[in-house]
Amino acid sequence: MIKLSLKEKFAFKFVLCEKIYQRWYGRFLSFGVDYWRLKRVVARIPNWLQWCSEWTKEGDEVFKKAEEAIKEGYKTKAKALFHEATACYHIGQHIFFIDSDQKEESQIKARTSYKRAISLYEEKEKPIRIDIPFNGVKIPGYLRLSNDSNKPLVIFVNGMDNIKEAEGHSQGTIYKQQGFNFFTFDGPGQGELWKDMKFNAKDYHKAVSAIIDWFKTQQQYEIDLGRIALTGFSLGGYLAPMSAAYDKRVKCTVGNSGLVFIGGLAGLKRLNPIWQRGVTYMTGCGTLEDAVNKFDWDIEDSPNLQVPLLFYHAGKDEVMPSPKIHAEKMMNWARGEKTLKYYEDGEHCTQNYLDEVFPEIIDWLKEKFEMP
């Protein structure tokens, strides 16, 4: 039985309000789930406690259809359905911090479905699984190679609750099509690595540098490692610029809706109860009091960013208190070339403007790397 506080019960009662939850639809659709499937599943879920289980059931049904498609010889259909099943599993586990067992079970299924999907790719298009040694564990990730040699590398930094098999894959497809090499990974406290290493804000940049170290030792991929960019959404919108400030090999960075300061325990307590659960989940701590040392930061405590920064923020961001302050703080901290794109009526991660944001990021990176 899942135990919730009175405050959580009140907050979670409104999670499935269509007006509120539709804010996430833009990102969910980008993972590969069909709009009408999204509407059907949400409609049959009576309350937040059934969110993960119902989406996992849906993922199971889609996975079964994918296996049937293989038996019938429909390889393209099977690949698409395995990706959609992955999306269903991911949506189910997304921000479902109230039950780590359910969450982990759905993530395992997402990883299994994703592996089935990419097994159906032609070899030159197939995401390459890479495990990078880091402090006694291995950072799991997937590399999408450009069809041309000596192209830049974009490293995507996950948010609080995204996984490399969903958002990382969908973004990787976009970047690969535009001529970039793209690496997506689960860092400490995220996705596949969560069981082996929990989140600590003070050390996260070391994981990113370990990834760059590893690529520097590799020659077979023909990547131009003199042109490396970090991008990140949500929590990754803070982690990517922060990590770029620590590693001079990064030549430019993009952040979207980064939570750039916490404000100690008082700041954590101002977060929505959903995100408070996310804090204790990522850090592996039982309480906010225990977690605060691992989940407290101020971007101004990091070395000032010297490379070009493109930063997005949203005026109606429901995840963080006072979003405009975060944007101003980020701009004050960055000392190199910097561009702020502030959407007054934007939702978290500018989800209601992604049709503009994604191509703009691509154009900005191409300009910085002098790509046609």
Span 320-364, pLDDT tens digits: 777 788 999 999 999 999 999 999 999 889 988 999 999 999 999
Question: Do 322 and 356 fall into the same domain?
Answer: yes
Question: Do 194 and 326 fall into the same domain?
Answer: yes
Question: Do 100 and 150 fall into the same domain?
Answer: no
CB 252 within 8 A of CB 309: yes
Question: Do 252 and 364 fall into the same domain?
Answer: yes
Residue 82 in tokens: 């395995």
Task: Please report whether residue 217 resides in a domain.
Answer: yes
Question: Do 52 and 149 fall into the same domain?
Answer: no
Task: Please report whether residue 348 resides in a domain.
Answer: yes
Question: Do 84 and 135 fall into the same domain?
Answer: no
Question: Do 194 and 92 fall into the same domain?
Answer: no
What is the CATH number for 193? 3.40.50.1820
CB 357 within 8 A of CB 350: yes
Question: Do 100 and 134 fall into the same domain?
Answer: no
Q: Round to whole Å and give the CA distance between 122 and 315.
A: 43
Span 40-81, pLDDT tens digits: 998 898 888 899 999 999 999 999 999 999 999 999 999 999
pLDDT tops 80 at residue 137:
yes
Task: Please report whether residue 43 resides in a domain.
Answer: yes
Name the one residue in this structure whose structure tokens are 């937040």: 48
Q: Which of 118, 153, 171 is the last residue of a domain?
A: 118
Task: Please report whether residue 292 resides in a domain.
Answer: no
Task: Please report whether residue 331 resides in a domain.
Answer: yes
Span 249-301, pLDDT tens digits: 999 999 999 999 999 999 999 998 889 999 999 999 999 999 999 999 999 99
Q: pLDDT over 70 for what percent of the chain?
A: 97
Give the global pTM. Answer: 0.96
Query: What is the average per-residue pLDDT within 147-169?
Result: 96
Alpha-carbon distance values, 213 to 110, 111, 256 (Å): 29, 26, 25
What DSSP character marks residue 261?
A: B
Q: Which of 62, 86, 118 is the last residue of a domain?
A: 118
Q: Round to whole Å and give the CA distance between 91 and 98.
A: 15
Question: Do 94 and 157 fall into the same domain?
Answer: no
Task: Please report whether residue 245 resides in a domain.
Answer: yes
Q: Round to whole Å and give the CA distance between 57 and 37.
A: 13
Q: Domain range spanning residue 171?
A: 128-261+297-368
Question: Do 220 and 339 fall into the same domain?
Answer: yes
Q: Which of 55, 84, 118 is the last residue of a domain?
A: 118
